């Protein structure tokens, strides 16, 4: 019996497109130059659907679905940009800004921050919610790196890259809801971690200024993201 071709055809924003059956809406959109905002998703890491910025509308469904974890289906009709979606995306970003202390002007990542750039792209000029101003810690106990919890948005890219690519699993998440935070080992100072290999991958996947190299001042922390797809590709070739 002839196997059905593992290709699905679908419409994204009115365009007729196709993707392999295991690909997500975000994969297909990206291949075709359609921009869908996201802060937790990263090419080369597993997908968690945590930030909810990539929510899209699918015809025939009331529920919005995250494009990064929704696999393409035959005949799907996807809308990636509508007033409703823009409203939700702005709301999510504004809530992220109020949740901790994101002071762009004095941040190591000023000018290179994914969240800052996204806010501008989505037309955010101010935040409609009251700021929380929580007291968050900065752990500078590591020889070369710093974690500033004020800037962390809990995207978990550091947790995933450390586990999936470096294989160390130094990072994890502790606590729930508003009290959740990223930790090293069993919530010990990063500098005394026995599992951290000091590879620096977490620094470079972090979308904001939460993770940075020591000695970097305002706007000086440039992140090199290109290593990740390259590393994944080389490993796949060797297998």
Partner 1 sequence: MSKKRLATVWLDGCSGCHMSFLDMDERLLTVAGMADLVYSPLVDAKEFPENVDVALVEGAVSSEEDLHKIKLVRERTKTLVSLGDCAVTANVPGMRNPFGTKAVYDRAYRENVTFDPGIPDQVVPALLPNSRPVHEFVKVDVFVPGCPPSAETIYYVVTELLEGRQPEVTTKTRFGS
What does the binding site for partner 1 look like in residue numbers (CB under 8 A)? 97, 101-107, 110-111, 113, 116-117, 119-120, 123-127, 130-131, 133-136
CB of 75 or CB of 175, closer to partner 1: 175
**Where do the DSSP E strands lie in 80-204?**
138-139, 145-148, 171-174, 181-184
* CB 167 to partner 1: min, Å: 35
Beta bridge partners of 65: 56
Cα–Cα dist 118/111, whole Å: 11
CB of 63 or CB of 135, closer to partner 1: 135
Cα–Cα dist 190/183, whole Å: 8
| 8 Å CB contact between 205 and 165 | no
CB of 67 or CB of 146, closer to partner 1: 146
* CB 89 to partner 1: min, Å: 14
CB of 102 or CB of 223, closer to partner 1: 102
| 8 Å CB contact between 108 and 209 | yes
CB of 140 or CB of 219, closer to partner 1: 219
* CB 129 to partner 1: min, Å: 10
**Residue 204: its H or E element:** helix 201-205
* CB 234 to partner 1: min, Å: 36
Long-range residue pairs from 87-90, CB within 8 A, at least 24 positions apart, any chain: 88/52, 88/55, 88/64, 89/37, 89/53, 89/55, 89/122, 90/122, 90/123, 90/124
* CB 146 to partner 1: min, Å: 17
């Amino acid at each position: 019996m002839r196997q059905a071709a593992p290709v699905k055809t679908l419409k994204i924003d009115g365009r007729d497109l196709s993707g392999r059956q295991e690909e997500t809406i975000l994969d297909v959109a990206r291949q075709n130059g359609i921009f869908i905002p996201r802060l937790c998703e990263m090419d080369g890491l597993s997908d968690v659907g945590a930030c909810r910025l990539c929510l899209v509308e699918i015809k025939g469904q009331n529920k919005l679905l995250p494009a990064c974890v929704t696999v393409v289906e035959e005949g799907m009709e996807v809308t990636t940009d509508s007033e409703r979606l823009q409203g939700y995306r702005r709301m999510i970003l504004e809530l992220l800004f109020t949740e901790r202390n994101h002071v762009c002007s004095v941040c190591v990542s000023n000018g290179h921050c994914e969240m800052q750039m996204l806010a501008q792209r989505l037309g955010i000029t101010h935040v409609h919610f009251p700021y929380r101003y929580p007291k968050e810690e900065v752990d500078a106990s590591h020889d070369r790196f710093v974690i500033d919890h004020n800037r962390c948005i809990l995207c978990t890219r550091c947790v995933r890259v450390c586990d999936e690519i470096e294989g160390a699993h130094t990072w994890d998440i502790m606590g729930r809801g508003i009290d959740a935070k990223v930790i090293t080992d069993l919530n010990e100072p990063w500098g005394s971690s026995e599992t951290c290999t000091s590879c620096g991958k977490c620094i470079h996947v972090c979308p904001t200024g939460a993770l940075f190299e020591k000695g970097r001042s305002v706007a000086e922390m440039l992140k090199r993201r290109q290593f990740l797809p390259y590393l994944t590709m080389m490993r796949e070739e060797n297998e």
